[in-house]
Structure 1
């Protein structure tokens, strides 16, 4: 019903990997689909099935003006022919912004709200009022993380070859929680937090994943945010560019670029034992590069 072909694995070879006897593969989920890629598709897949099961014909979700999630939901609506609404943190829409421009072209109805109203997005009364306003709609949280999203991320873990480590960028915790659910207990699952003061996510991950409560084969590293969510240093951007030229691995500096930069530092520090097999998840988000260029940040 909602089917996209599996993404490829790319092996990275480098003198430092050879020296430390490490094997590194990148799960190229950025190549899952031209427009609905990475963890956004993984999270959407079972939510779309749930939407259809509940007899809903529209999708309402939330995001900032440059949100990968908004972009993916708009693309999914066009691809699978259902109506989408985006509650956009505002208060005004800049329709020259490439993310919002694409969302509108894909048929998404954009509803800008004040930052004050946007803060209500998790509250029961606000969501009840939204459901009344959009009676035929399935409500999906910001970023797409909920119980249904976990099934897609669990499926991702189950699709991977055996490895000693799986590593992914972490924003809301949904991808990491799903990987913990699907990974072998002998595999160590690592999340690289892309935002400041992300320790609170540990409890969010435990709330999403039963295995996260009972297993110790996972961790969230909170010191590699490089300034906070949406922020990045020139060093990080130069690293992203070097990975693109040396390994034909395109990265953005908000999610997967941060994860790869952290992974490279851990490798240089001798974090991984000789002989370790590592799989890093490229969670997509490359559409965000257009937004960074639009804001003249790269």
Structure 2
């Protein structure tokens, strides 16, 4: 993988308070390998290909609407690499063609193996089985989070990012915030907005970043993947006001919570805040499929 030559724009979000808020549009880095997924895969893939592996093959894990699955499949197509997605939920085995994310991943050349949720939870055993079957493969964890992923996040920084007091990101598996924490300036505070109810995340991030300059903030609305009517309204209003599409699982929840914190005077006057838009927009079509079945308002994508 190459470092993209495009300049990632920072968009200022107007506020009534004496606080500056900017959104760094990492979602624009690639049409399908979006946002932090590009950078989390960056070192993993380059380190693997540097070894000139025999029968290069990438295996990774994810759920029905996984951004990571979609990004890995797109990367495989772009670099002519075989990919295999280990998918949570055996009920998808005979109807994955109806799932927008898996359908797109398959169009990009990815094959699948489906496991029950109980089998999927034991990823250590699954990984051992896959290592025996595919000894030359690169096996990337769910969400792409490992030490290589953390190193890749450094490319989300530039000279402009040094001027901010706070750096904000959504947190799923912890790799992105670990990288931001590791490569932030000494004077910067890192805020991670948890979209999963996982109490082990703090120690995981601390181990990967080796830095305690971060704070984790609950933003999951009760569980991972939950989409509330309040979240839908916020995303649609945000797009109408600022012309920027947010996703309902990651950046949408982060920005809604961030706005609440600004309103509640969490940040001192004069603060300069940078939030990273980490992509995930491919998941909106799947989210709308579920919302439509529930006769609920949809996320505006027009």
Shorter-chain TM-score bucket reads over 0.9
Task: Give the equivalent residue in structure 1 for 2:207.
Answer: 207
Alpha-carbon separation, structure 1, partners of 2:171 and 2:188: 18
Task: Give the equivalent residue in structure 2 for 1:142.
Answer: 142
Question: Where do residues 8-27 of structure 1 align in structure 2 (5 Å cutoff)?
Answer: 8-13=9-14, 17-18=15-16, 20-27=17-24
Task: Give the equivalent residue in structure 2 for 1:191.
Answer: 192
Residue 258 of structure 1 pairs with residue 253 of structure 2: yes
Q: CA deviation at 1:294?
A: 1.9
User: Contact between 1:158 and 1:182, CA under 8 Å: does it hold in 2?
Assistant: no
Alpha-carbon separation, structure 2, partners of 1:126 and 1:226: 30
Alpha-carbon separation, structure 2, partners of 1:195 and 1:188: 21
Q: CA deviation at 1:6?
A: 4.0
Alpha-carbon separation, structure 1, partners of 2:217 and 2:85: 31
The normalised TM-score by structure 2 is 0.91
Residue 226 of structure 1 pairs with residue 225 of structure 2: no
User: Tell me, which stretches of 5 or more residues in structure 1 are unaligned?
Assistant: none
Alpha-carbon separation, structure 2, partners of 1:204 and 1:157: 22
Task: Give the equivalent residue in structure 2 for 1:129.
Answer: 129
Q: CA deviation at 1:138?
A: 0.4
* Bigger Cα displacement from structure 2, 158-167 vs 27-36: 158-167
The normalised TM-score by structure 1 is 0.92
Q: CA deviation at 1:211?
A: 2.0
CA deviations 1:11-52 (Å, max 9, x no partner) are 111xxx23x211111010111111101111110011111111
Provide the secondary structure at the position in 1 that maps to 2:235: helix
Q: CA deviation at 1:3?
A: 2.8
Provide the secondary structure at the position in 2 that maps to 1:185: coil
User: Contact between 2:120 and 2:126, CA under 8 Å: does it hold in 1?
Assistant: no
Alpha-carbon separation, structure 2, partners of 1:278 and 1:44: 26
The count of aligned residue pairs is 286
Q: CA deviation at 1:158?
A: 4.5
User: Tell me, which stretches of 5 or more residues in structure 2 are unaligned?
Assistant: 293-297
Alpha-carbon separation, structure 1, partners of 2:87 and 2:170: 24
User: Contact between 1:22 and 1:274, CA under 8 Å: does it hold in 2?
Assistant: yes
Task: Give the equivalent residue in structure 2 for 1:59.
Answer: 58
Aligned-pair Cα RMSD in Å: 1.4
User: Contact between 1:59 and 1:84, CA under 8 Å: does it hold in 2?
Assistant: yes
User: Contact between 1:150 and 1:175, CA under 8 Å: does it hold in 2?
Assistant: yes
Q: CA deviation at 1:161?
A: 4.0
Alpha-carbon separation, structure 2, partners of 1:148 and 1:221: 25
Which residue of 29, 32, 35 corresponds with 1:38?
Answer: 35
Task: Give the equivalent residue in structure 2 for 1:90.
Answer: 89
